[in-house]
Amino acid sequence: MIAHSFGRELLERYGSPLYVYDLDKAERQAKALFELLPKSAQVLYSVKANPIPELCAALKTAGCRVEIAAPLELRVVLEAGFAPDQILCSGPGKTASIVREMLLAGVTHFSCDSWYDLERLSAVALEAKKPANALLRLQVSGAPSGSVGVGAMQSHFGADPAELLNGGVARVGALRGAELAGIHIYSGGQIQSADKLAGTFEHAIRVAEEIAEAGVALRLLDLGGGFPWPFGTSDTPVDISALGEKLKRVNAQRRLTADAELWFESGRYLVASCGTLLSTVLDVKVALGGKTHIILDTGMVHLGGMAGLGRIYRAVASIEPLAGPDGGTLQSADVVGPTDYALDYVARDTSVPSLKAGDAVAIPNVGAYGLTASLVAFAGLQPPAEVCCRGTSVVAAHRLRMGHERI
């Protein structure tokens, strides 16, 4: 929780609402994750979770590499100090021009979502005379449904593993501009136990072993992530401290891929806990029937606003007074945002202390998929400032620019 005096100081300086990112906490999270993984493993930060340069730089200090999907993210991570060979270009939306821009910037590793995507990479790399190491992303198939993240079994991402198991040697040998370095299997997010996480990685390694047995050499295995962390609430994080020992057992099962490098990915687990959204109560009113409504100056336009359209499950946010608990009686209330859209709820039927207009509140665990996953263009409200801190010192402050410019 941000200290009351420091939070008030930041609000007075940068305005409300305001995102605050604790860089020291992000570094500690990264180091904690490294301790759970095999010693030689690499951790890639998924920049889409939060593309603030100083946050990326903090994770670089902690030993992470990065996973990106667009030229804007490329510019961010280069500004943060990452070398091109520390970058994985991923995602299904890579056009030839994006691939070319990545290659010319020195990026050498690409996750390809299909065989066509792999052949496009190969053709552009051949034309540009630049090296390209490809990971073929594979669909999650054959894994126990209880050991994957929500929706992973129905995901449209990735290629059928049969494309490498059946005749893969010949297809790989026919590539001219790119080299198949390995595979990429992502089993979904928010996997809720160490046992289930270990199960997803065990399944991925089993698939890799089958591919290697079919004659396709693999020197890099990207096993994805799924490491869980709460979003927007003060809920106790899932304990995955047992993952380290479980991964030792899983890693020992490797035979044909024993020398392949292991990569893991994370966005939410690395940076969610470092972020807090500070907001101000605009009004408190009681509607017909006795329902209390607390109106904040933030909502779906700033906080995971894609959920405002009902397309993504909305977490119930924790609304914590910046001044800290006063020991008074809690009340049930709906906490809503400042727009005139009926679905602009921050939390429904939540228990909150007595609040009044002008009070400052904090929403924790929003360092990942907060502003970057919001409907920032809706209603024309100015995006909040985003402040990076170490202790009570401000390292950097940003504000997303909105508006149209003529082209």
> Is it the case that residue 145 has pLDDT exceeding 60?
no
Q: Are residues 280 and 260 in the same domain?
A: no
CATH number for the domain spanning 285: value is: 2.40.37.10
What's residue 154's pLDDT?
52
- Token duo for residue 61: 């200090």
> Is it the case that residue 148 has pLDDT exceeding 60?
no
Q: Are residues 260 and 373 in the same domain?
A: no
Integer CA distances (angstroms), 216 to 108, 169, 252, 256, 343, in order: 20, 5, 21, 10, 50
Judge whether 246 and 194 are in contact, CB under 8 Å. yes
Q: Are residues 121 and 141 in the same domain?
A: yes
Task: Kindly state whether residue 53 falls inside one of the protein's structural domains.
Answer: no
Integer CA distances (angstroms), 364 to 19, 55, 180, 367, 393, in order: 10, 17, 41, 8, 19
State the chain's mean pLDDT as an integer.
Answer: 91
What's residue 290's pLDDT?
86
Strands 385-390 and 393-399: antiparallel
Q: Are residues 253 and 288 in the same domain?
A: no
Residue 379 CA to residue 6 CA, distance in Å, equals: 30
Task: Kindly state whether residue 288 falls inside one of the protein's structural domains.
Answer: yes
Selected residue with higher pLDDT from 389 and 2: 389
Question: For 58-62, 291-295, 308-312, 364-368, which range has the lowest pLDDT when averaged over its residues?
Answer: 308-312
Mean pLDDT, rounded, for 344-367: 93
Residue 116 CA to residue 128 CA, distance in Å, equals: 18
Q: At residue 117, what are phi and psi to the nearest 5 degrees?
A: -60, -40
Determine the structural domain holding residue 318 and report its residue range.
Answer: 273-397
What's residue 228's pLDDT?
94
Q: Are residues 386 and 286 in the same domain?
A: yes
Of the pLDDT bands very low, low, confident and very high (cuts 50, 70, 90), residue 307 is confident
Mean pLDDT, rounded, for 214-237: 94
pTM: 0.93
Integer CA distances (angstroms), 406 to 15, 232, 379, in order: 29, 37, 20
Residues paired with residue 135 on neighbouring β-strands, in sequence order: 111, 182
240-287 pLDDT, tens digit per residue, is 999 999 999 999 989 999 999 999 999 999 999 999 999 999 999 998
CATH number for the domain spanning 220: value is: 3.20.20.10
Which residue matches tokens 């990545």? 102
Q: Dihedral of the CA atoms 162, 165, 169, 174 (nearest 10)?
A: 10
Residue length, the chain?
407
Angle at 140 between CA 135 and CA 145, to 5 degrees: 155
Domain count of the fold of the chain: 2
Residue 182 CA to residue 407 CA, distance in Å, equals: 41
Boundary (domain end) residue, out of 238, 266, 294: 266
Mean pLDDT, rounded, for 330-357: 90
What's residue 361's pLDDT?
96
Residues above pLDDT 70, as percent of the chain: 93
E-assigned strand segments in 120-249: 133-137, 179-184, 220-222
Mean pLDDT, rounded, for 128-137: 96
Q: Are residues 127 and 201 in the same domain?
A: yes
Task: Kindly state whether residue 74 falls inside one of the protein's structural domains.
Answer: no
Instruction: Please spell the DSSP secondary structure of 130-147, one letter per residue.
Output: ---EEEEEB---SS-GGG
Angle at 97 between CA 96 and CA 100, to 5 degrees: 85
Question: For 137-146, 168-177, 265-274, 342-351, which range has the lowest pLDDT when averaged over its residues?
Answer: 137-146
Which residue matches tokens 């995901």? 155
Mean pLDDT, rounded, for 284-302: 91
Of the pLDDT bands very low, low, confident and very high (cuts 50, 70, 90), residue 407 is confident
22-48 pLDDT, tens digit per residue, is 999 999 999 999 999 999 999 999 999
Task: Kindly state whether residue 160 falls inside one of the protein's structural domains.
Answer: yes
Judge whether 347 and 271 are in contact, CB under 8 Å. no
Of the pLDDT bands very low, low, confident and very high (cuts 50, 70, 90), residue 151 is very low
Mean pLDDT, rounded, for 73-98: 96
95 alpha-carbon distance from chain centroid:
22
Selected residue with higher pLDDT from 394 and 354: 394
Burial class (CB in 10 A: 0-12, 13-18, 19+), 358: exposed
Residue 56 CA to residue 221 CA, distance in Å, equals: 23
Burial class (CB in 10 A: 0-12, 13-18, 19+), 354: middle
**Cβ neighbours of residue 51 closer than 8 Å, sequence gap 6 or more:** 72, 73, 76, 372
Task: Kindly state whether residue 69 falls inside one of the protein's structural domains.
Answer: no
